[in-house]
Amino acid sequence: MGVDLHKRTNVAVVVDSYGDPLGKAMKFENSPAAFPAWVAQVKERAGGKGIIFGLEDVHGLGRNLAGYLLQVGYTVKFTNAYLTKAERDSVNKTDRQDALAVARITAKQTLRLPDADVDELQWALIATVQHRRGLVEEQTRAKNRLHALLAQSYPLYEGFFGEPFGKTALAFWERHPSPSTLARVTVAELGGFLREQSHYALGEKQAQAILGAISGMDRPRGYQTERDRLVKLLVRELRHLGELIKEAEAQMGELVAQTDYHLTDIPGIDVVMAAELIALIGDVTRFRKAEHFLAYTGIAPVVMGTGGNENRFRSKFGRRELLALFHRIASTQLVVHRRTGVPRNPEAKAYFEKHLGEQAKLPKEKQDRKVRKKALLSLMRQQAIRFYRLMKAQKYAAKERRGPGAA
């Protein structure tokens, strides 16, 4: 049984072990109240034969259905969207064709497909990660709006503070949303304000630089009061979003601590990265080999060639979110401390420079971009395998601690 999932109405198709459809497509509401009657119809159509359900999405739209089917004792398989697309026998895309493709994939690869696992902790972690991601996106939009206003009032504002939207900067924009509000402010007064807000990191030297940068700009423009009000509103919005992001990250930390994985011990991996990795990967033991895991992330190399000539390319399949995350992780491992010059992860940096070859002796801006890109991809692949092995070992260790038969 293959099910094409939607918000309100699902479409299901039954096939036999050869992949031939049995009867017409079945439509039913995506509501727990409608599931028992639909399952009764499926049993009647199956004619007493065993039923295996295939679902493309078990954490989103199909979560309730997968949970119900598992609860009443059925086998539920998780199918990949890329497999479904490859199985679809027509360029036209309809609900019936999608359900038929899911059913055929389930029939052909029953033993290879992973069992659906409706893990409540996993779902809560996914929801929290998505919630934080939405907050960060809204924060970025608010910063862009504030930038548009400040660029008109303070053309050189980005040089005023190390972080133009940090705590000290926001306090300054709220108090002085435009140069006209600094008309009668002395260096000593502004220096004292900056010293208090930055906890003595800034003072009169920075105040002198700011006042010098706005020299001759202290006349108010038309509707300056309205523009100043917008700046203050955006500052409050950014502060509120910052608090919400901190709350989401605190919740992430609590949820990550309840999983079987301990990833924050790795240099450069904070709670946010760990939560995103666990949310996207789930139970890592469902990947039998590292090659399968690499294919899922989209980092696995694809070999193409003929006549003895072969080229390796990055796969265009896999989860783009995981690919972007491992790109971020690999880049983080290469960060060098500004003062000491010590890399965050010396082993990763040495591996990266090994793949750079002679290019490693050149400054970054003079390195060949293609060579650097391939070297970074190799590091991403190495880091992905490292995480796979670590997470797999931690998962098995946790299962052993819980003992046989434990969930």
Q: Confirm if 14 and 44 have CB atoms less than 8 A apart.
A: no
For residues 119 and 354, the model is more confident at 354
392, part of any domain: yes
Q: Are residues 233 and 343 in the same domain?
A: no
146 & 199 share domain:
yes
Same domain for 139 and 249, yes or no, is yes
User: Does 344 lie in the same domain as 302?
Assistant: yes
Residue 254, pLDDT score: 96
pLDDT of residue 118: 72
pLDDT in tens, 247-298: 999 999 999 999 999 998 887 889 999 999 999 888 898 888 898 898 888 8
Range of the domain at 296: 271-402
Model confidence pLDDT, tens digit, residues 123-173: 899 899 999 999 999 999 999 999 999 999 999 999 999 999 999 999 999
pLDDT score at 308: 66
Most distant pair of Cα atoms in the chain: their distance:
88
Residue 74 lies in a domain: yes
DSSP 42-71: HHHHHTT---EEEES-SSSTTHHHHHHHHH
**Chain centroid offset of residue 396 CA:** 25
Q: So what's the pLDDT on residue 310? A: 66
Looking at the predicted structure, is the pLDDT value of residue 339 above 60? yes
Q: Do residue 208 and residue 150 come from a single domain?
A: yes
Cite the DSSP H helix spans in 282-368.
290-297, 320-333, 346-356
Residue pair 366/308 in contact (Cβ under 8 Å)? The answer is no
Q: Is 389 inside any structural domain?
A: yes
Q: CB atoms < 10 A from the CB of 243, how many? A: 11
Q: Total structural domains in the chain?
A: 3
Both 394 and 314 in one domain: the answer is yes
Please state, in angstroms and as integers, the Cα–Cα distance from residue 273 to each residue in 139, 166, 277, 325, 380, following that order.
18, 22, 6, 8, 15
For residue 266, tell me if it sits in a domain.
Answer: no
Look up residue 13 and give its two tokens. Answer: 């198709």
**Domain final position from 71, 87, 118:** 118
Residue 233: other Cβ atoms inside 10 A? 15
| Same domain flag for 181 and 112 | no
Q: How far is CA 150 from CA 63, 174, 206, 234, 295, in A?
A: 45, 11, 18, 11, 45
CATH number for the domain including 54? 3.30.420
Q: Are 35 and 65 in contact (CB under 8 A)?
A: yes
Residue 171's CATH number: 1.10.287
User: Do 382 and 277 reside in the same domain of the chain?
Assistant: yes
Q: Is 332 helix (H, G, I), strand (E, B) or coil?
A: helix
For residues 270 and 276, give the distance between their C-alpha atoms in angstroms, rounded to a whole number.
10
What is the DSSP code (8-state) at residue 89? -
pLDDT band, residue 49 (cuts 50/70/90): confident
Q: What is the pLDDT of residue 282?
A: 86
| Average pLDDT of the chain to the nearest whole number | 88
Is residue 360 assigned to a domain?
yes
How many CB atoms sit inside 10 A of residue 73's CB?
6
Q: What is the pLDDT of residues 10-19, one digit of tens each?
A: 999 999 888 8
Domain identity same for 292 and 247: no
C-alpha to C-alpha distance for 75 and 79, rounded to whole angstroms: 13
Sign of CA dihedral 275, 279, 285, 289: negative
Residues 247 and 141 in one domain: yes
Residues 275 and 368 in one domain: yes
Structure tokens at 206: 């920075």
Of 228, 257, 286, the residue at which a domain comes to its end is 257
At 331, list the tokens. 């880049």
- Is the backbone of residue 268 left (phi > 0), alpha (psi -120 to 50) or beta? left
Tell me, yes or no, whether 289 lies in a domain: yes
Phi-psi region of 403 (alpha: psi -120 to 50; beta: other; left: phi over 0): left
Residue 88 lies in a domain: yes
- Separation in Å, CA 328 to CA 37, 47, 188, 350, 376: 47, 52, 43, 18, 10
Of 211, 234, 257, the residue at which a domain comes to its end is: 257
Distance (Å, whole) CA 57 – CA 2:
11
With respect to residue 40, please indicate whether it lies within any of the assigned structural domains. Answer: yes
Same domain, yes or no, for 165 and 187? yes
